Structure 1
Amino acid sequence: MKSIVSLLLIASIALSAPKYIVLNSLGETLSMGEWLSPPANNLTTVEAIPNQILADDDGIWVLSSGAGAVQRFTVSGASISLVEQFALPAGSNPYLMHKTGGMVYASLWVSGGIGIIDIGTGHVTATDSFCLGPQGIFANEDYIFVTAGNLDPISFTYGVGELWRLSPDGTPIDFIEIGTNPQEIIESPLGDLHIVCTGDYFSTWGIVYVVDTASFSVIDSIPLGGSPQRLALDSYTGIIYSATSMWGELGSGKLLAYDGRTREILWDASSSGNSLTGTGIVGLAAHNGYIFLPSMDSSTVEMCFVDRVTMTLTRIGEHPTGHGPLDVALLYETGISETHLPRKTAISISPSPFNSVCEIVAPFEIRDAFVRDLTGRTIEKLPSRSISGNRAYWAPAEETPSGVYLIEARGKFKTGLGRVVFLK
């Protein structure tokens, strides 16, 4: 069932090409474009010094370091609208965030702790300082993982990087040493963590470290070279991309790539055939071989296609954006973000087929549940009265046609997916 559901999810996403949303950091605005088309620029403003953008079913999420805020926007047609905003402690300088289920976690670079946002209640908590310069952050149902750069602000030199493990409430448990200047953390197709260590920009160069979450230990390293800062998983091909562009002396203007399953390096900073036009590239996004790369220096977004068989890079185009774009996210009709596509947990739905009411059972407490058709279009969000603990119930409206439907259940930390057949 799980493999069938995964194939159906991929097929439904492929039917609808995503929009791309560009975070213009210097201009403090958002741009948005249809698939491979020039974007409409400066559609809305964001808070001061924005540093990251994510997209998922709940909309667009922007973390702003200067304002200490996380904002949620929604898209309607060609418009982007602010829905709500969460304030993190003043002067904490949030650096990166991770969203899972109904929670957002943010690293607080200056204050040395993390912020935890419960989206449903709006409650925001911040931990005490436990490390120097927290940067990357990732959370699952068991732990929160945070990287620390240990930058000396006086000598501007990096100490040995750290990966911290925290309990779900943000209490520090332990840490391991990991590379120089560790930044973003993502989950690979195999479920382990990949941490990109940028290096010091001058003499120590980029390495991705692979960490097994069960043993909390480094099990592999992937030397990419250059000074990469972010990672983007292409969930269709399993390739993980990064970019190094005018940060330090090596690897300027290169697309970096490796297989997220085998960890085989496909392109590093010394490879040929992977040169980019843009410079000052930090964030990037990937979808089925197509790569979106915003350039802070030229205020453009570069679009490329990678042929996985021949590993040939083809430039598709380069379009003007707002001022100083730093990051980009992909938004599907379903709202699922390709860059941060979550792993789905199988849920039980019975009976199937059914003709009046079906029961949904998840291995976690359900907060929200959605019914979608096979194109990914949302048919219905189940009302709260239809949800109780780890169970939910769907009684299709009279006008709902017979067919196959996908049901997505969301908990605090997990997201579950199942398929059901409705026959009138």
Structure 2
Amino acid sequence: MLDKQKIALFLAVLLLFAAAPSLRADELIVMNGLAETLSKVDLETGIVDNNFVTVGLIPNFLLCRNGKAYVVNSGSDDLYIVDIESEIVEDVIDLGSGRNPWAMSFVDDTILLVTNFISSTLAKINLNLNSVTGEWALETRPQGLMTIGERTYITISGFNPSDTSYGPGKLAVWDNVGDSIIQYVAVGTNPQDLDIGPDGRLNVVCSGDYEGLPGMLYMVDTASLAAVDSFQTATSLFPPTDVLVTEDRVGFLAAGGWFDKGEVYTYDPINAVMLHGETNPLTTDLGVISVAPASDSTVFSLNFGADNITEMDSAGNVLKTYYVGDGPQSADVNRIGPGYICGDVNDDMIVNISDAVNIVNYVFIGGEEPSPLESGDSNCDGSVNISDAVWVINYIFIGGNLPCDTDADGTPDC
């Protein structure tokens, strides 16, 4: 009978390592507002594939999911679905004349919600049917939205085009299950975008009225559905309009900078204070219109006036610059592969003997579960067992196939 403790101990003392299989590089997909095209940036090589596909009239917002790019076009009132790998427009969904779609958020892989600015409605799109399956009236001029669990939070700008004034700013709380408004939460004037902070509060960026009312940032508690804190972000006529909170607890604000250098502000989302603002902005190339996540501690600034994007950290160091199409306006990362390395059960980004040890411990003595569990399925048979540890050992010591490379083509099939 096998001595399970001895097997685990024997494997644990082996120290030989092999080169790790790697994740395929993610891509940043950039929507070029003036060119009405998409660009593709390989985040490993830095190679840019510019204007690889043309989208609709006046594109306004982009999201990526499962290898596809979704673009809402405010001028043509439609949604483009682009297959990123083949660089082909797969479908165009008509959202209805006069809608002026603004932004969108996924509820899940099959349901997409879209805010329509002019019609002041929320549209529900079923991606299995590629059609609008519901549309509901909201208060005046919805813009940004974010889905968290069974709720979607929607900024209500209150803009009145007849006199360019702004009514009370609100945050609509939408029930994704019942397709109905739960309530409206009062926030600052002209709320445009939002993100969730490390403490679970929603960070809502409000741009004021571009005249006397300053830019503000409101913190909304999702349990009580009330604004619990706020602070001023800018006094200028060009306040921040876009917000992103990184994993290392820094909030970034796209703050324009249209005359000399592009500007990005930062703030502390826990203590609700500005770190870099009007008097000490982080600077980059001209016209920062939005920010997109790059890593746990860095962001991409989309520099509309310079036709490029820059990766920067919270200290203002510009790490990389990529030249894209005319007027980069919105961007999202196309995650390639499953988001983990097959066989890397301890998530240290390399497959080595410690992963085989972890699998043996998990199978025989109730050790820690692989993270994620699917990463332990090294032979891609749908379960995690001792054969997966054997596969990893063969790969490391005798030149066997990569974990999950069941057809020996050099690429994991997980």
TM-score, L = length of structure 2: 0.71
The percent identity for this pair of structures is: 23
Question: Cα offset for 1:320?
Answer: 2.5
What SS class does the counterpart of residue 32 from structure 1 fall into? strand
Tell me the distance in 2 between the aligned counterparts of 1:140 and 1:317: 31
* Match in the other structure for 1:24: 32
- Bigger drift between 21-30 and 53-62 goes to 53-62
Q: Note closer, same or farther for the CA distance 1:99–1:219 as it changes in structure 2 (3 Å cut).
A: same
Question: Cα offset for 1:49?
Answer: 1.4
Matched, 1:245 2:256: yes
* Match in the other structure for 1:39: 48
Q: Which amino acid aligns with 1:240?
A: G
Tell me the distance in 1 between the aligned counterparts of 2:329 and 2:98: 21
| Aligned-pair Cα RMSD in Å | 3.6
How big is each residue's C-alpha offset from its partner over 1:238-265, in whole Å with a ceiling of 9 and x where there is no partner? Answer: 2221121147x9x973211123444443
* Match in the other structure for 1:91: 98
What SS class does the counterpart of residue 302 from structure 2 fall into? strand
How big is each residue's C-alpha offset from its partner over 1:351-371, in whole Å with a ceiling of 9 and x where there is no partner? Answer: x9569xxxxxxxxxxxxxx98
Tell me the distance in 2 between the aligned counterparts of 1:290 and 1:192: 21
Matched, 1:143 2:154: no
* Match in the other structure for 1:189: 198
Q: Note the 1:92-107 alignment, pairs <5 A.
A: 92-102=99-109, 103-107=111-115
Paired residue total: 340
- Bigger drift between 43-52 and 327-336 goes to 327-336
- Bigger drift between 315-324 and 251-260 goes to 251-260
* Match in the other structure for 1:314: 317
Higher strand share: 1
Tell me the distance in 1 between the aligned counterparts of 2:262 and 2:328: 16
Matched, 1:286 2:294: yes
Matched, 1:228 2:230: no
Question: Cα offset for 1:148?
Answer: 1.2
Match 1:297 to one of 305, 314, 320: 305
Q: Which amino acid aligns with 2:324?
A: T
TM-score, L = length of structure 1: 0.70
Q: Note closer, same or farther for the CA distance 1:335–1:184 as it changes in structure 2 (3 Å cut).
A: farther
Question: Cα offset for 1:197?
Answer: 0.8
Q: Is the 8 Å Cα contact of residues 371 and 379 (structure 1) preserved in structure 2? A: no
Q: Is the 8 Å Cα contact of residues 334 and 378 (structure 1) preserved in structure 2? A: no
Match 2:279 to one of 266, 270, 277: 270
What SS class does the counterpart of residue 231 from structure 1 fall into? strand
Tell me the distance in 2 between the aligned counterparts of 1:378 and 1:184: 42
Q: Note closer, same or farther for the CA distance 1:89–1:398 as it changes in structure 2 (3 Å cut).
A: farther
Matched, 1:110 2:122: no
Higher helix share: 2
Question: Cα offset for 1:396?
Answer: 7.4
Question: Cα offset for 1:128?
Answer: 3.5
Q: Is the 8 Å Cα contact of residues 138 and 144 (structure 1) preserved in structure 2? A: yes
Q: Note closer, same or farther for the CA distance 1:378–1:212 as it changes in structure 2 (3 Å cut).
A: farther
* Match in the other structure for 1:327: 330
Q: Note closer, same or farther for the CA distance 1:291–1:131 as it changes in structure 2 (3 Å cut).
A: same
Question: Cα offset for 1:400?
Answer: 6.5
What SS class does the counterpart of residue 127 from structure 1 fall into? strand
Matched, 1:219 2:228: yes
Question: Cα offset for 1:282?
Answer: 2.9
* Match in the other structure for 1:82: 89
Q: Note closer, same or farther for the CA distance 1:216–1:300 as it changes in structure 2 (3 Å cut).
A: same
How big is each residue's C-alpha offset from its partner over 1:4-45, in whole Å with a ceiling of 9 and x where there is no partner? Answer: xxxxxxxx9x97653221110111111111227252210111
How big is each residue's C-alpha offset from its partner over 1:250-296, in whole Å with a ceiling of 9 and x where there is no partner? Answer: x9732111234444432122225x12222252343332333222222
Matched, 1:179 2:188: yes
